[in-house]
Amino acid sequence: MKFFTSNEKPTVKGLIIATVLLLIAELAVLLCLKDNKVYVAGYLFEYYLISVWIILMVMAKKQINYNPYTHNTIMYIGFGIFALINSIANALILIGMNNDPEAMNLVSIFGAIAYSMTNFSWIVAPFLLIFSILLAVSNIQLIRKEGYRFVNLLGLILSFMIVGGFVFLWWLTYYTSGSQFEVFISELIYNVLYAIYVYFVCMLLGSIITNIIVSHHIPEADKGFIIILGCGMRKDGTPTPLLRSRIDRAIEFARYQERKSGKLINFIPSGGQGSDEIISESQCMKNYLMQQGISEDRILLEERSTTTAENMRFSKEIIDGIDPNEKAAYATNNYHVLRSGMFAVENGLKAEGIGAKTKWYFWPNAAVREFVGMITRHKRLQIAVITFIVVFYSFMIWMSYYGIYLFDRGF
* d(C-alpha 198, C-alpha 195), whole Å: 5
Answer whether residue 2 is part of any domain. Answer: no
Residue 23 is which amino acid? L
The conformational region for residue 4 under phi > 0 = left, psi -120 to 50 = alpha, else beta, is left
Task: Tell me how far apart the alpha carbons of residues 7 and 73 are, in angstroms, rounded to a whole number.
Answer: 16
Structural domain count of the chain: 2
Inter-residue contact 365 to 138 (CB < 8 Å): yes
* pLDDT of 195 higher than 80: yes
- Rounded to whole angstroms, what are the CA distances from 76 to 6, 37, 190, 250, 354? 17, 32, 25, 30, 22
pLDDT the model gives residue 260: 96
Do 17 and 128 share a domain, yes or no?
Answer: yes
Whether 234 maps to a domain, the answer reads: yes
Q: Domain of residue 81: give its range.
A: 13-216+367-406
User: What strand order describes the sheet that includes 328-333?
Assistant: 266-270, 225-229, 328-333, 351-356
CATH assignment at residue 266: 3.40.50.620
CB of 25 closer than 8 Å to CB of 70 = no
Residue 5 lies in a domain: no
Q: Do 280 and 169 fall into the same domain?
A: no
- Position 410 scores a pLDDT of 47
Give pLDDT tens digits for 63-91: 999 999 999 999 999 999 888 888 887 78
Do both 131 and 190 map to the same domain?
A: yes
Q: What is the pLDDT of residues 197-217, one digit of tens each?
A: 888 888 888 998 999 999 999
**C-alpha closest to that of 30 among 408, 404, 397:** 408
User: Residue 330: phi, psi to the nearest 5?
Assistant: -140, 150
Would you tell me how many other CB atoms lie within 10 Å of the CB of residue 103?
A: 9
Query: Alpha-carbon distance 202 to 217, whole Å?
Result: 23
227 forms beta bridges with 268, 330
Spatial CB neighbours of 228, under 8 Å, sequence gap ≥ 6:
246, 247, 250, 267, 268, 269, 270, 285, 330, 331, 332
Is there a single domain that holds both residue 99 and residue 195?
yes
302 shares its domain with 391: no
**Are 19 and 96 in a shared domain?**
yes
Q: 111 and 145: one domain?
A: yes
Is 1 within a domain?
Answer: no
Same domain, 314 and 380: no
Q: Which of 14-18, 115-119, 196-200 has the highest mean pLDDT?
A: 14-18
